[in-house]
Amino acid sequence: MISLRICALTGFALLLLACATTPKEGLYQALGEGPGIASLVNEAVHRSHADPRFGELFSEADLDNLRSQLNSQICELADGPCVYEGLSMAEAHSGMQISRAEFNWFVEHTRDAMTALGYSVGTQNRLLARLAPMRAEILSDTDMPAQMPEEPVDPLGMGD
Amino acid sequence: MPVPNFTTAICTFAMCAACVGNAWADSGALLATSGLRSIEGSAGGGLTTWALIAGHAEQGEYALGAGISRAVTDGFALTSASAYWSQGNRLEVSIGRQSLDLDALVEIGATDRTAVAMDLYGVKYRLAGDPVYASFGQFSLGAVYKNNRDAALVRTIGADRASGIDAYLAWSKMWLDGPGHRNWLLNLTLRATQAHQLGLTGFDDNHTLSAEGAVGVFLNPNWVVGAEYRNKPDRLPNVAEDDWADLYLAWFPNKRWAVAVAYLDLGSIGGVDDQHGWFASVQYND
């Protein structure tokens, strides 16, 4: 049992060291700054718009406005030089009756878009972890407590 | 508490795995949240049960699936087959059958039976939360009724009963963007059990507490590498029982299929020490 503990501790310490000494790039830079975020948003919205499972959710949406809001929101979330001034997530999605399945499909399209555009798994995980806390406000009904603070924060304190 | 070398290997492998692997293609973000089929039929890893509900059903949907696995050590081979039905990511019902080949015991003349079989009936209920989106993770409560079909063998070994019930509280949490910018799955299960060696060597009249845990790192959404540890009671006076551990690699090519392989360390089984070996499982989700 002693060896198990020693191993776990040293292994974890080595891992943190390895990860800490990896050169750090801000998420905004990893996403390719403004142009990179714009192509990511275009691709994710395009894939969702083309997905018949969403019904009218995307086919009836104002796509230009949606892309513009997503651009500034992701830019801000990624610590870029933007301030998102749009509606809160709860306000923006009120009345849309978004289901958990629809939320999952959009996450999958975003993930697929990032893969198609060549983003690394690490960059994908960094962005999705910052988007995940919005779920509670986006869903029409949830059995989880609403945890979304006023401003998006890194929920796990992992920083960059 | 056997073999420190194995645990060292688990840690080294699992920790190193966190910093590699950007190369594989991937697809859906949530495709591994159904878990695998554990050897006891419920959603889990291989040796351990997790809080995840089998299948990809959301509210108002249901899911069906089945899986088969085989664990082969120097002296034994365990085949486990199971199927489940789940409702709305809330309730999971499973049935399973295990069959243990007793080659090692036949060889030393301890028995003339070549196999022992057990039926398993499980139910799991998600109490609260979500492994990905709730900060506290997901909690589930479950029970498994197990019936060993060879009551005579069980009595010979010295166990009180041929059937018993496990009850457990399980917790699962996906740590998004954890070490190495990877997503990590953590599982912890507290179990009240009557079973000796899962029940394959029978059951005690009384329950005792045991714990089991698993950790996995998603190299990408399709590949997970990790380790499991299962604390086991050791209550038969004449036959020692050890904790179990494994190191696993799982592949989720899509939402329907999943494949896992593992290296096992099962300690002493039926009086035969140092049972190491390999495990493979395949599962299908409707």
Give every CB contact of residue A62 below 8 A, 6+ residues apart in sequence: none
Q: What are the mean pLDDT values of chain B's consecutive 10-residue runs (286 residues total)?
A: 40 37 32 87 96 88 94 95 94 97 84 91 96 94 97 92 98 95 96 97 97 96 95 92 97 93 95 94 93
Q: What is the pLDDT of residue B224?
A: 96
The residue of chain A nearest to residue B28, with distances taken between CA atoms, is: A108
Position A154 pLDDT exceeds 70 = no
What is the reported pLDDT for A121?
96
Contacts of A7 in chain B (CB under 8 A): 4, 7-8, 10-12
For position A158, what pLDDT does the model report?
47
Chain A residue set in contact with B, beta carbons under 8 Å: 1, 3-4, 7-8, 10-12, 14-16, 18-19, 22, 99-101, 104, 107-108, 110-112, 115, 120-123, 125-126, 128-129, 132, 135-136, 143-144, 147, 155-156, 158
Question: Is the CB of B185 inside 8 Å of chain A's CB atoms?
Answer: no
Q: What is the pLDDT of residues A79-109, one digit of tens each?
A: 999 999 999 999 999 888 888 888 888 999 9
State the pLDDT at residue B282. 97
* Residue A141: pLDDT band with limits 50, 70, 90: low
Res. A4: pLDDT tops 50: yes
Sort out which chain A residues have CB atoms less than 8 A from B34's CB and list them: none
Interatomic CA distance for residues B47 and A148, integer angstroms: 36
Percentages helix, strand, coil for chain A (3-state, rounded to 5) are: 65, 0, 35
CATH code of the domain made up of B4-285:
2.40.160.40
Report how far Cα B262 is from the mean position of its chain's Cα atoms: 11
For the stretch A43-89, pLDDT in tens is 999 999 999 988 888 888 889 999 999 999 999 999 999 999 999 99
Q: What is the pLDDT of residue B2?
A: 39
Residue B43 · residue B53 · CB < 8 Å: yes
Is-contact B89 B126, C-beta < 8 A? yes
Check residue B4 and give its pLDDT.
Answer: 39
* Spatial CB neighbours of B221, under 8 Å, sequence gap ≥ 6: A111, A121, B26, B27, B28, B29, B31, B32, B252
Q: What pLDDT score was predicted for residue B104?
A: 82
Q: Are A112 and B27 an interchain contact pair (Cβ–Cβ within 8 Å)?
A: yes
For domain A26-138, give its CATH number from 1.10.490.10, 1.10.10.10, 1.20.1250.20, 3.30.930.10: 1.10.490.10
Predicted confidence at residue B34, as pLDDT, reads 85
Interface test with B, best of A4, A53, A135 (most B CBs within 10 A): A4
Beta-carbon separation of B21 and A121 below 8 A: yes
Q: Which residues of B touch A111 (CB under 8 A)?
A: 26-29, 221
Q: What mean pLDDT is reported for chain A? A: 82
pLDDT band (50, 70, 90) for residue A6: low
ipTM score for this prediction: 0.81
